[in-house]
Amino acid sequence: MAGDSDAPLGSLFARSAVGGVLMGLANLVPGISGGTMLLAAGVYPNFIQGVAEVTTLKFRMPSLVVLAGVVSAAGVAILLLAGTVKGLVVDHRWIMYSLFIGLTLGGVPIVKGLIGELDPRSIGGAVVGFLGMAGLALLQAQGVTSAGGADASAPLFFLAGIAGASAMILPGVSGGYLLLVMGMYVPILSGIDAFKEALKARDLAALVDPTVGVVLPVGIGVVVGIVAVSNVLKWLLARFEKATLGVLLGLLLGAVVGLWPFQQGVEPQLGDIVKGRVVTEEVLADLDPDDWPTQTFTPAAGQVGGSLAFIVVGLAVTLAVARFGSRGESQEA
């Protein structure tokens, strides 16, 4: 096949690696869809097709090249940047959430382009998707869904891996956002960061706990989620394309509801309930700022202006990646 020649495969691998890095970063931050980033890089259909083929024991070279590029680049990005991104979210929440909003909104024209002309099926799907994601945001704001945290067990990390992976390959659905809603976002990033630090220190004893408790269950859940959702999504798009894409568009727009930037972590008081535990002096001493509950605040004029600027920056980044992806597809054609 022409697609098996060295030059096209090299170009495909390069775009897949770029998409993988963006996908890895997207899954570290709430609000950004890993699927949208693959779509923007121009390799999303190839990735879905590749997963579907491999899981049915079909091994074509273009599909293997795409999967190798995406998976390896995403893994490196997550391993190297988990601690940095977690720190930025905790310490500079309003800035990062503003950036996330822009990155998320940048995916709207991409998904809208896939839908084409809106019809009752796509509009109805968009309404359902928007209400579903907005409902998750409301539950998160009320603290109903934050059941994870420091007390999370391996089975819960496994379920979080399935949920995060299922979301990360859907354009418009943020895996990081769902993990945030589940209360598993910071614990997973902390576990990955601990794994990285133990590797750097070559400390085998310190490596056991994050590996067994976090990395393995999350990793297995990710594989299960990707395989299941890729095949289901391929089936839905083949039979109910307009409605399915409409739901994805609604999920993308609804994700912005939960990313209100002007919120901050607040140190809990004695007697408060945090992560299902009553805060005592002993519990309070063990709580990191990562685990503090958040509350909204009234922004200063400078923060409002800064937030709008970061939204524009995020929007421009996603659109620039989309332009890069469409250019790569045109060159291949």
Partner residues linked to 296 by β-bridges? 263
* pLDDT tens by residue, 28-38: 766 566 777 78
Which residues, 6 or more positions from 12, have their beta carbon under 8 angstroms from its beta carbon? Answer: 3, 43, 46, 62, 65, 66, 69, 332
In this structure, what token pair is assigned to residue 244?
């399915």
Q: What is the pLDDT of residue 120?
A: 92
Q: What is the pLDDT of residue 145?
A: 45
Alpha-carbon distance of 19 to 51, in angstroms, equals: 15
Q: What is the pLDDT of residue 266?
A: 79
* pLDDT tens by residue, 67-89: 999 989 988 888 888 778 777 87
Q: What is the pLDDT of residue 55?
A: 82
Strands 294-296 and 273-274: unpaired
Q: Where are the domains of the chain?
A: 2-262+298-332
Q: What is the pLDDT of residue 168?
A: 66
Q: What is the pLDDT of residue 78?
A: 83
CA distances from 100 to 73, 85, 94, 291, 315 (A): 21, 12, 10, 21, 9
* 10-residue stretch averages of pLDDT, the chain, 333 residues long: 50 84 75 71 80 84 90 87 78 85 80 85 92 75 50 75 74 68 74 83 82 85 84 83 87 78 81 70 73 81 94 85 60 51
